């Protein structure tokens, strides 16, 4: 006796298949492009392994891969270390001002890494950086003391912008950890350091490992920071090689696809480890149905030193870059002498009144609205189907497909989208850039709404079904209103990430489809640091305004995005 699939199951399967093709299509096209001839006019079924051989048999490319991985791992370890320290301070000690500390640690999340690179270039460039100028004036130093264009400088900037992710991972783990285990250790006479080493760290190990894997993927695939600061690296990181393959005089899309395939395979390995660690973390959950109040360790004599350290972090990592960005925006020309530094608002006014900025702002607004709406709709549909189908293959597939873009660095996604849509009416349009935004930030939207759905009991939906209402009516009248806080948070998060995003669209824009982040890159490419800093300030101010409005209106809690 044959079983017939219900129409609902057929529609669910079709949706999963369509979503998988939408998200995974660019990667399939990427590998197709990697075995194509260099000429884009070649017949569709003509293949060549020249690009793959040129990439995978090149010692220079493998050296670039090794350098990229070394930078990414260094960034992950440093960011996880300091993010973990801040997470432990806010979750397990009596340090004052925990809300302020959390805001300071999360602050880089709401500034584009690209803008942060511009700020640190203005602050610590070897010849014109404000820190080096100040040290030369005060102490008479002739050689640059800090060089942000070196490998150490790039690692430092990337670690700073990655630290919020580590903080979110580890703080969530610590807050979900039953402190009774630590309390039992203290009652047994074990000291603080040994308790941290023997109890807290083992329980937080999956979160620490997940943080390292996630940040490694993020740092390995970022293009903008090494693109601005990587002048003295001695090698080009893989994302920079991909960008140059496409933007050189004779664009080589096949080589770009081959390079992107190497970076994708690396990120896929990291994502596999990340997912294994996040699954393992669930085995270490120690929260039961009983309420608990964590014991806060008194810092005692260390409290002034901790406060001094937090203050130093705020000054060096938050205040100084903002001041440097302001000074760079008000300095039309780079100067090596404070006395000759001429501050003017001319470039800031020119940016505000520039028609190109107005067009880019309009494109950004359209992209933000389209990407946020699409991410929310896809996430809601995925959550609804998963709730109806329950735990099973469909739910697992939806979770995997929605999380898959985490393994796809932005510039790799852009290279794949070129091969999907070239020759179609979508290519070289704002719609293609919106597609890139949606795929890139779908995991963040899905995770927020999925986590919100976990807190909604299915009893209300069951009651609606008992009263004769269909699935669509129940989803619209019962489930969606209960998920509105998560939907609002998802919209805000996508808006923030789209405004600051440059990696996933850097290969896709045209002069008529530039958004603000891309226009900022064009200013940097033209050597106009003042205008780039001015536009970066405007974007940062808008992001802060969005964040403040979200915290007051929606009580946005970013830590729930990565639990």
Residue 16, pLDDT score: 84
Question: Which among 512, 507, 551, 433 has a CA at the least distance from the CA of 239?
Answer: 507
Residue 561, pLDDT score: 44
Structure tokens at 142: 């002739």
Residue 287, pLDDT score: 47
The verdict on residue 209 lying in a domain is yes
Q: Do 304 and 376 share a domain, yes or no?
A: no
Residue 562, pLDDT score: 42
Q: Tell me which residue range forms the domain holding 85.
A: 65-236+292-326
Residue 467, pLDDT score: 64
Q: Do 428 and 320 share a domain, yes or no?
A: no
The verdict on residue 29 lying in a domain is no
Residues with pLDDT less than 50, the chain: 1-2, 284-285, 287-291, 559-563
The verdict on residue 183 lying in a domain is yes
Question: Which among 393, 369, 384, 374 has a CA at the least distance from the CA of 450?
Answer: 384
The verdict on residue 45 lying in a domain is no
Q: Do 86 and 223 share a domain, yes or no?
A: yes
**Angle in degrees, CA 268, 272, 274, rounded to 5:** 110
Question: Which among 437, 453, 441, 402 has a CA at the least distance from the CA of 560?
Answer: 453
Residue 337, pLDDT score: 56
d(CA 268, CA 404): 9
**Angle in degrees, CA 486, 170, 185, rounded to 5:** 125
Q: Do 363 and 219 share a domain, yes or no?
A: no
Q: Do 316 and 435 share a domain, yes or no?
A: no
pLDDT per position as a tens digit, 398-435: 888 888 888 788 888 998 999 899 888 999 899 999 99
Number of domains in the chain: 2
Please check whether residue 367 is in contact with residue 499, taking contact to mean a CB–CB distance below 8 angstroms.
no
- DSSP track, 478-522: IIHHHHHHHHHHHHHHHHHHHHH--TTTTTT--TTS--HHHHHHH
The verdict on residue 142 lying in a domain is yes
CB atoms under 10 Å from CB of 481, counted, come to: 9
Q: Do 452 and 486 share a domain, yes or no?
A: yes
Q: Do 319 and 409 share a domain, yes or no?
A: no
CATH number, domain with residue 355? 1.10.3720.10
The verdict on residue 40 lying in a domain is no
Q: What SS3 class is residue 297?
A: strand
Please check whether residue 104 is in contact with residue 318, taking contact to mean a CB–CB distance below 8 angstroms.
yes
Q: Do 196 and 150 share a domain, yes or no?
A: yes
With b for 16 or more beta-carbon neighbours within 10 A and e for fewer, the 257-286 pattern comes to bbbbbbbbebbeebbebbbebbeebeeeee
Q: Do 351 and 303 share a domain, yes or no?
A: no
Residue 365 makes CB contacts below 8 A (sequence gap 6+) with none
The verdict on residue 59 lying in a domain is no
Cα diameter, the chain: 90
Q: Do 355 and 316 share a domain, yes or no?
A: no
d(CA 215, CA 234): 23
d(CA 559, CA 91): 13
pTM: 0.84
Q: Do 221 and 351 share a domain, yes or no?
A: no
**Tokens 């584009």, residue located:** 112
The verdict on residue 12 lying in a domain is no
Q: Do 406 and 535 share a domain, yes or no?
A: yes
């Amino acid at each position: 006796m044959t079983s017939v699939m219900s129409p609902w199951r057929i529609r669910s399967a079709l949706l999963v298949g369509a979503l998988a093709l939408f998200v995974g299509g660019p990667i399939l096209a990427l590998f197709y492009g990697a075995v194509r001839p260099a000429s884009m006019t070649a017949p569709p079924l003509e293949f060549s392994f020249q690009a793959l051989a040129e990439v995978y048999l090149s010692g220079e490319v493998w050296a670039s891969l090794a350098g990229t991985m070394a930078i990414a791992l260094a960034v992950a370890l440093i960011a996880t270390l300091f993010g973990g320290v801040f997470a432990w301070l806010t979750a397990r000690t009596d340090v004052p001002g925990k809300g302020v500390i959390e805001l300071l640690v999360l602050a880089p999340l709401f500034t584009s890494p690209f803008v942060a690179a511009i700020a640190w270039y203005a602050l610590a460039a070897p010849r014109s950086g404000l820190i080096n100028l100040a040290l030369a004036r005060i102490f008479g130093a002739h050689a640059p003391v800090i060089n942000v264009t070196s490998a150490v400088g790039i690692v430092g900037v990337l670690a700073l912008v990655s630290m919020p992710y580590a903080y979110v991972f580890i703080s969530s783990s610590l807050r979900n950890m039953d402190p009774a285990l630590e309390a039992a250790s203290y009652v047994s006479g074990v000291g603080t350091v040994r308790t941290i080493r023997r109890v807290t760290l083992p329980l937080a190990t999956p979160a620490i490992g997940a943080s390292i894997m996630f940040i490694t993927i993020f740092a390995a695939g970022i293009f903008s920071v090494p693109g601005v600061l990587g002048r003295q690296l001695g090698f080009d990181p893989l994302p920079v090689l991909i960008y140059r393959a496409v933007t050189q005089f004779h664009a080589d899309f096949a080589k770009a696809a081959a390079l992107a395939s190497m970076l994708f395979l690396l990120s896929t390995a990291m994502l596999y480890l990340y997912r294994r660690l996040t699954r393992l973390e669930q085995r270490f959950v120690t929260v039961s149905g009983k309420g608990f109040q964590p014991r806060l360790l008194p810092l005692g004599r260390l409290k002034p030193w901790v406060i001094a350290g937090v203050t130093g972090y705020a000054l060096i990592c938050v205040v100084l870059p903002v001041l440097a960005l302001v000074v760079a925006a008000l300095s039309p020309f780079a100067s090596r002498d404070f006395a000759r530094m001429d501050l003017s608002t001319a470039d800031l006014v020119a940016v505000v009144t520039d028609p190109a900025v107005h067009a880019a702002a309009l494109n950004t607004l359209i992209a933000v609205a389209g990407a946020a709406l699409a991410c929310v709709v896809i996430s809601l549909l995925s959550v609804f189907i998963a709730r109806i189908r329950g735990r099973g293959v469909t739910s697992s597939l939806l979770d995997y497909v929605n999380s898959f873009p985490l393994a796809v660095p932005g510039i790799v996604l852009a290279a794949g989208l070129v091969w999907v849509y070239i020759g179609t009416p979508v290519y070289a349009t704002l719609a293609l850039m919106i597609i890139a935004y949606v795929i890139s930030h779908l995991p963040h939207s899905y995770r927020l709404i999925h986590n919100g759905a976990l807190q909604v009991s299915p009893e209300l939906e069951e009651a609606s079904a008992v009263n004769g209402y269909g699935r669509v009516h129940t989803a619209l009248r019962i489930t969606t209103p209960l998920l509105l806080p998560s939907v609002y948070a998802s919209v805000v998060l996508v808006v923030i990430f789209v405004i600051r995003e440059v990696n996933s669209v850097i290969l896709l824009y045209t002069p008529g489809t530039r958004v603000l982040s891309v226009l900022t890159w064009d200013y940097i490419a033209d050597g106009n640091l003042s205008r780039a800093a001015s536009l970066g300030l405007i974007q940062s101010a808008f992001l802060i305004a969005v964040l403040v409005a979200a915290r007051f209106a929606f009580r946005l809690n970013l830590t729930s995005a990565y639990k």
